[in-house]
Structure formats: structure tokens, C-alpha cells
Amino acid sequence: MRYREYKGCKARTQIRTILLSACMLSTVVYGQLQIVITQGVDNPVQIAIVPFAWDGFGVLEDNVPGVVTSNLRNSGEFAPIAEENMLSTPNEEEEVFFRDWRFLGADYLLIGKISETISNGALQVQYEFFDVLREERLLGEVLNGGRSQLRDVAHSISDKIFEQVTGVRGAFATKILYVTSQRISDEVTNYQLNLSDADGGRPQVLLSSQEPIMSPSWSPDGSSIAYVSFESTRPRIYIQELSTGAREQMTDFPGINSSPVFSPDGTKLALVLSKDGNPDLYVMDLRTRDLRRITNHFAIDTEPSWTPDGESLIFTSERGGNSRPQLYQVSLDTGWVERLTFEGTYNSKGAMLPDGSNLLLVHRFNTTDEYHLAIMNIDRGTIRTLTETSLDESPSIAPNASMVIYASKAGNRGILNAVSIDGRVKFQLPSAQGDVREPAWSPFLD
């Protein structure tokens, strides 16, 4: 639950219908997310991705080079060369004439072929990746899988190319969680907790309800998620296994049960409870269910996130006065609380980057300004704004720390946006129907 929502939060008193997908088999969602690039780098890498040859029965449902093309283009770092401009379509190294690709301005070249084995119908995807200017083969391997795994293969190839060229590990094979809501009538709104590929592909419904679903987060190994559901008389925190769909209710306290976040080692859960009065931070040991109170203050303490070393929590609080939330850090060992932000009238939803020196946050400079994402250098206290969109909230950092996905507004609709940590690349992930909010980017899933 976000800080701004505490002011009007009321427990839900009516039980509504809940539908759980036992093994993530449901695919009915309000609208698949589609990436729309709004800003890329000034000089993207020119890459030629040749259609792969297919030696097998029928037509493949997933186009491997097409998915790779979309992934690299959507990163904002690459500019794929149009297929109609290609002078040849090689599928093996001996068919490559580098002068053709230099003529087209290509820096890199990807070729490949897909074949179906006779024995069991499995597929073999063979690809090769070249530096055109150096006429050098950089990557090449054979990947095996079924027809339903071709998108996974394409994401894997995309990750390896991205890392080879940029030096940063790719995150195309990761997943995102997000919540959609659609107004059915004046009295009824449908909410869904969804899981999809990082590019919005293969969406699946994990939970459907006529009461709000909030604050989804990932376990560090990507096997489970935590979230808040209002499906009964009060908000409760649940943990759900993704492989089976089995879930477990973790809290049932009076008042607020909110903002669950797994510790970096996966053994604990930070959360917000108001069972003892005002909302405060707690940590639950997931092995013993022991609950430890971390803050004890008359102000609202909320939105915990873990520091990378797991020794402290970053949180939002108005304990500084003037009803202006700021970010604080509390040591789990000593209980010492330190204020982190001083600039601006509103700072919330802090998350420390892996470097331990920079903090992602939602920032408002003055009372008339919009809420934007920003990066604050902790040592210098300087803040750099990343976004210019409206009512930005719920940021989630990609596992390679290169991008941030967040919720925003476009007109009267909630949509998802993404921005690179340096602010150079921006894209949207709108849904065809309903509002989209509460994104959570998975860890690496290998």
C-alpha cells in the first residue's frame, strides 16, 4: 500500500468472489501489454537480424528472430535493419558476405536456423552472432526446446546479444507482475494480478477479485510472490508459489496489513502493520513466523524496502512533521533511524540501487509539482529527475539495474512506463482495456 492511500484506507467488509489459477493456466486478461518506445538513445547500435530457416512440420507459432528484433529494438539501444532492405538472407556462416552488411551500415549480424528432430519432435535452434566490421563470430550455440519454449529461447538469445554488445546482463528473460482493474458498473470493479514476460507477452492471471489487490513483490529466487488482497473483511498478506498456484495467508491482524517485501536472502518478510496503533514496520521470519517490530512512532511508517546487504530497511514516514513524507533508513541491528531525504515536499517509495550509493524514489519538488521518479545520490544528497510523466508511482528496478518500470497516468487511465536509470531510454506498456498499476520486476530466473 502506498503512502498516499493510507489517508483514505478503509477495511473492506464484503466478501467477493475469488478465482485462483491453480497452475497459472488462465490466460484471460483485460489486455496484453504492448511496448511503445517513446525515447531511445541518440546513436543506437545497427543490427541485422536475418529470418531463421525452418526445417520442420507446419508453421511455428513464435517467430524467434522476430521476438529478438522486438526485444533489442524495445531496449532503445538497438536499431534493427528492416528485412526488406537486406541484400541476402544467410542462415550459416559460409553464406555470410560481410561487405553486404557493411553496405547497409550494420554493426552486428544475427543468423540462424530451426530444425525439428525426428525422434521426439523437439526443436533445435542454432544461431550465430557476428561483428560485421571485424568479420568476427562472437556467439554461437544450439539451444533445444519444445514449440512452447521458443519465446524463452528468443529471450535467451536477446540477453546474450545485449550483454555481448553493452556489457550489461540482459533482462529480457525475466517476468513482471502487475495489477489491472476494470470498472464493470458503478458498484463493481474487477481486479486481476497478472504475470507476463518482461515485454508483456504470455500474460497469465494469478488472482482475480472484486476487491483490491496490492503490493505484489517477488522472492529473490523468483519461485514465489507476496501480495495484499482485500478479498475478506480486512487486508491480508499472502505468499503464493508460482509453480503450483498454492498460496498461504501470512497475516490476519486488525487494521492495516500491507507492503510485503522479501529480504535479499528470502528468509524474512518486511511488512507494515497497524495492529499496535499507528502503521509501523515489522519483520517476519518466514521459517518460524516470529514477528519483530522495527519502528515505533506516532507517525505513519510505510513502504519498506531492503538495502542490498539485508541489514537495513528504507521506508517512508511523515515523522519529520508538516505531513510531508520523507525517506528514512533504519538499522535492523541497532534500531538507529536516519533521515535520507531533505530536498522537496514529498519523497517516498525509496529503493536502493545495487551500488549502495544511489536511491530510486518518487519525488515532488514543491506542492504544485507532479510526482516524478528520481535518483538521489546518498553521499551528496543530490536528486536527478528521471521522468516527466504524470502521477508516477510504484517503481520497480530491473534485476540488471538498467531500467525501472513504474505506474503512471495517460489521460484518465493508469498505464505502465519504463525508463532507463540514466534517463535516455523510455517506453510505455499500455493495456488495451482497464487501468494497469503496481508493477514488480522479477529477479533473474535462471
> Would you state the pLDDT for residue 14?
33
pTM for this structure?
0.90
Domain range for 262: 3-35+172-355+364-375
**150-166 helix and 64-74 helix, angle to the nearest 10 degrees:** 40
Instruction: Report yes or no on 270 lying in a domain.
Output: yes
Instruction: Report yes or no on 158 lying in a domain.
Output: no
What span, in angstroms and rounded, lies between the C-alpha atoms of 393 and 4? 10
Instruction: Report yes or no on 108 lying in a domain.
Output: no
Instruction: Report yes or no on 395 lying in a domain.
Output: no
Instruction: Report yes or no on 304 lying in a domain.
Output: yes
Q: Show the beta-strand stretches assigned E in 132-267.
A: 136-145, 175-183, 189-197, 204-209, 213-218, 224-229, 236-241, 247-249, 257-262
User: Which pairing describes strands 45-49 and 108-116: parallel, antiparallel, or unpaired?
Assistant: parallel
SS3 94: helix
What span, in angstroms and rounded, lies between the C-alpha atoms of 118 and 28? 34
> Would you state the pLDDT for residue 98?
97
- Note the pLDDT tens digit of each residue in 206-258: 999 999 999 999 999 999 999 999 998 789 999 999 999 999 999 999 999 99
- Note the pLDDT tens digit of each residue in 366-389: 877 889 999 999 999 899 999 988
User: Which pairing describes strands 45-49 and 78-80: parallel, antiparallel, or unpaired?
Assistant: parallel
Instruction: Report yes or no on 247 lying in a domain.
Output: yes
Q: 441: part of which helix (H) or strand (E)?
A: strand 435-441
Instruction: Report yes or no on 305 lying in a domain.
Output: yes
Count up the domains in the chain and report the number. 1
| Cα–Cα distance list, 435 to 125, 230, 303, 321 (Å) | 38, 18, 22, 33
Q: What are the phi and psi torsion angles at 440 (to 5°)?
A: -145, 120
**Contact present, 378 and 357 (Cβ < 8 Å):** yes
Return the closest-CA partner of residue 147 out of 112, 172, 123, 117: 123
SS3 221: coil
Instruction: Report yes or no on 176 lying in a domain.
Output: yes
> Would you state the pLDDT for residue 21?
38
Those residues of the chain that have pLDDT short of 70 are 1-32, 34-38, 40-41, 118-119, 432
**Contact present, 101 and 109 (Cβ < 8 Å):** yes
